[in-house]
Structure 1
Amino acid sequence: MIVIEHTLVSDEVLEEQFVCDLNKCKGGCCEDGDTGAPLETDELDIINEVFETVKPYLALDGLREIERVGRYQYDKEFGWVTPAVNGGICAYGYHDEKGILKCAFEQAYNDGRISWKKPISCHLFPIRIKSGKEYDMLNYEPREVLCAPACVLGKKLKVPVYQFLKEALIRKYGQEYYEGLDAYYHQYHGKNQAG
C-alpha cells in the first residue's frame, strides 16, 4: 500500500497488468454485479441534466426500468447506483451489433452529444474506491473469470493497471496526482520489472 496525496493505493494497482479485451468479455462488467454502477453524489445531477439526450441510446428494457424505479436509486451497501434490469444489466447499457455491451452515456459522449463520459466508478474499473474520512482506498478488483482475458492481454502488452486507467485517474484526481503515481512506479516498480 502506498500513499499518494489523500489516497492509499494498493500495490496491485502498480504491479498487476490489465487491458480490457472487449471482444472476449463483451463488456460483461456492466451486467455482472450485485447492483448497478456506484454513483458519486454530484453525478446524480449530471444524470438528470443529460438524461433526455441519452434517452435515445437506451435499450427498451433499460428505459422501462428507469421509468419504473428512477434514474438512480439508493442501495444500503453501495450508496447511489444506476438501476439494473432484473438485477443484471445496468439500465444504461445496451448491446451493439457485435453483442458487446456498451454504455449509453459513453456513446452519447463519443458522439459529441454530452460532455460527461460515464460514472467514474465505471471509468476506473477494475479499480474500486472506498472513501474514508481522511483517505480514499484504491484497490485492484478485477472479476476472476470475466476479466481473465484482460489480465492476459495486459501481461502480453506489459501495461500496468494504473497506466491502462490513466484517463480515468486524471479525471478523478488530476494530472499532478497521476504524475506522482507514475513517478513512484518508475522509481520503485520499474526497477523491479527491469531486473
Structure 2
Amino acid sequence: MSDGSLIERIMTEKFDYTNTFFHKQPFLDLCSQVSAANYKDLDIIICSDVLEHTFATPIEVLPNLRQMLRPGGLLILTVPTNHMPNTIEWYGGAVCPPVPEKQELGSWVVRWSDRRGNDYIDQHPSFHGGPGDTLEMRMISHSQIAAEGKRCGFEVSNLEFKPDAGYYWSLLVAENYFDRRDARVFMMRRES
C-alpha cells in the first residue's frame, strides 16, 4: 500500500499486484472496515511505515488488515517501534484527525480537540518525510504491537537482521527508552 513507483513497477511485473492509496484511487483507508472490505482474500499485504500515521490506533487497524487476507495470508509489517511497555498516543482521544498548520515563521503546530471539548496545540509535532507531510500519531511499543497482532488472530514473528551476513537494519540504542527506536519487520500470518 502506498508504495513508491519503483516498488510498484517491480511488484506489478512479478505479481498480481494492486498499489493502494489514502488520497487517490485505488483508495484504501485502513481505519475503515468498509474500505478494507473492498480487498478480500489477499495472499500478501505489505504495510510499510504506515501504522504510526493512521488516525485509528494499531489495535483498531490490525483487525482490518486481517480481514483483507485469506486464511494463511501474510502481512509484512514494518513500523518503527520502541522498547517501552506501552504505545504512546500523541493525540489520544482526538475527535478527528489532527491537522498540521504552518506558522508565519515557518514552524509547524498541530491543533486538535478531544472528546470532552478540550482544545490542544502541539508545538513540537514529529513528521516523517518532511514537515507537514506525514504526521507521527504515536510511538509504538514493540511488544505491544506484537501482542495485538496475536490477539486479533495473527501468528507473529520478527524478521531478524544479521549484519555479519550482510543483512542490515538500523537499530538505535540510547540510554532513554523513549529514544531506543527499533524499526523491525513483523511477519504476521493470518490464522484460519
Q: Identify the structure with the greater strand proportion.
A: 2
The answer to which structure, 1 or 2, has the higher relative contact order (CA under 8 A, 6+ apart) is 1
Q: Identify the structure with the greater helix proportion.
A: 1
Q: TM-score, normalised by structure 2?
A: 0.25
